[in-house]
Structure 1
Amino acid sequence: MKKTKIYLGLALLAVTGIVLVAADHIDAPGSMGTSADIADFYAFEPTTGSDNTVFIVDLQSSVLPDLAYGTFDENVLTEINIDLDGDLIEDKVIQAIPRDGIMYFFGPINPSQKGLNSQVWVDAPLGSVEISGTTAKVTTTTDGVKLFAGPRQDAFFFDFFQFNEVISGNAPLGFKTPEDAVDTFDGANTMSIAIEIPNSMLGTPTAKNALGLDVYKTWVTSNKKQ
């Protein structure tokens, strides 16, 4: 199968199961401030009982609202990894990589090379979508896969300045109530990649979450061309 040059892993953010969220803002020094920096990863059913799964990867969320964001780095490959047998090794991967204003998606495929190194499986195209600007653009493939890439409002709600006051000992009353807290990231964007895909293309989930529901074990990595 045709593939491209090796990409070496830069950042990893893990989450197990559906309707879970992981956050990892501004603490990956090797990728901070670039679209290799993974901020959040969401995996969930679009509706209760749906036969689809939605994956959302938010990248480059290390700046305050009044600072500018960049674009997707064409040397960075983003991979959504899915473990189907409980050994915490990817059995399926979905890849996303930008070229000339288009985000190209590949997979899901069982990669022959696993772990830190990855290669783009160009013989397994999933679809592509024009990278959005101020207007969101979504592509739906003939397989029923929906694809999006572009800037989105940062969904992470956090009063960063009050947090600093608390940890420095300058806020004896602690954190503010939800009504009084200020969302530091309000108005800020992340560079987001979103996929809605039929579960039939992923395989049968073998894990259970705390509610006893069948879920996928999944995590995301960013990889830079070597």
Structure 2
Amino acid sequence: MKKVKLFTVLGIALSAAIFIAADHVDAPGVAGSSADIADFYAFEPTTGSSNTVFIVDVQSNVLPDLTYGAFDEDVLVEINIDLDGDLVEDRVIQAIPRDGMMYFFGPFSPSATGLNSEVSVDNALGMVEISSTSAITETTSNGVSLFAGPRQDAFYFDFVRFNEVVAPSAEDNSGFNVPGTDTFDGANTLSIALEIPNSLLGTPTATNVLGIPVYKTWVTTNRKQ
């Protein structure tokens, strides 16, 4: 079995259910690259649906006046899913780009957990052409929908005003303007999205406040050694 050894350079731990986390522009080692995780979304099934949607946004600082980047072929994105509540991954979904395509693998039970990962090519899930000017999606024979490409940044934040408020020398620290200015308006991120039947993920033991079963899930990026 062919495997590619990688190591984790960045991770964000999040609980699933309709949950959003933002972590725009990280440390110098990952900022400005597709190893930089900006947002992670996990949407629990709606009424009448038995699918879960995962969305990973990376490389958040793609502002209109900056050169647009691309997915790094040395970076593996992993969606980790905990089924039994111990905060250790029981299922893993992987995504890695090659020659204009995004390849997905999983969900599979990893042979080892923690910081080191291997691309599990024996667990191919599907692939999709990386979108550019128009959105391209693919649906596999087992009902998994896939997407990869640029999307407008959903993060709303007045970054300029934030710096003015928190700066030690700021003359006006009265707070944010209402409604404020969205610094990220018109900016792009690189997005990886998939909608997957829960039957492929396994049965979670955790429930949300409504008593609905939910997956505890987090995302990591991994760079090839």
Scaled to the shorter chain, the TM-score interval is over 0.9
The aligned residue for residue 58 of structure 2 is 59
Structure 1 length as normaliser, TM-score? Answer: 0.94
Aligned counterparts of 1:170 and 1:12: Cα–Cα separation in 2: 37
Conserved? CA contact 1:14–1:22, under 8 Å: no
RMSD across aligned positions (CA): 1.3
Give unmatched runs, 5+ long, in structure 2: none
The aligned residue for residue 216 of structure 1 is 215
- The Cα offsets for residues 139-167 of structure 1, whole Å up to 9 and x where unpaired, read as 00111100000000000011100111111
Aligned counterparts of 2:124 and 2:88: Cα–Cα separation in 1: 22
- The number of aligned residues is 223
- The Cα offsets for residues 66-108 of structure 1, whole Å up to 9 and x where unpaired, read as 2122100111100000000111110000000000000000000
Sort the Cα spacing of 1:170 and 1:213 in 2 relative to 1 into closer, same or farther, 3 A.
farther
Letter paired with 1:106: F
Letter paired with 2:150: P
Aligned counterparts of 2:176 and 2:209: Cα–Cα separation in 1: 28
Q: Tell whether 2:14 aligns with 1:15.
A: yes
Segment of structure 1 superposing worse, 209-218 or 48-57: 209-218
Segment of structure 1 superposing worse, 156-165 or 64-73: 64-73
Deviation at 1:187, TM superposition (A): 0.7
Aligned counterparts of 1:46 and 1:158: Cα–Cα separation in 2: 28
Conserved? CA contact 1:11–1:28, under 8 Å: no
The aligned residue for residue 93 of structure 1 is 92
Segment of structure 1 superposing worse, 169-178 or 155-164: 169-178
Equivalent residue runs for 1:1-226 within 5 Å: 2-45=1-44, 47-168=46-167, 169-178=170-179, 181-226=180-225
Give unmatched runs, 5+ long, in structure 1: none
Aligned counterparts of 1:23 and 1:72: Cα–Cα separation in 2: 19
Aligned counterparts of 1:3 and 1:136: Cα–Cα separation in 2: 31
Conserved? CA contact 1:13–1:219, under 8 Å: yes
Aligned counterparts of 1:46 and 1:206: Cα–Cα separation in 2: 15
Segment of structure 1 superposing worse, 138-147 or 65-74: 65-74
Sort the Cα spacing of 1:135 and 1:63 in 2 relative to 1 into closer, same or farther, 3 A.
closer
Aligned counterparts of 1:101 and 1:35: Cα–Cα separation in 2: 14
Q: Percent identity, aligned pairs only?
A: 68
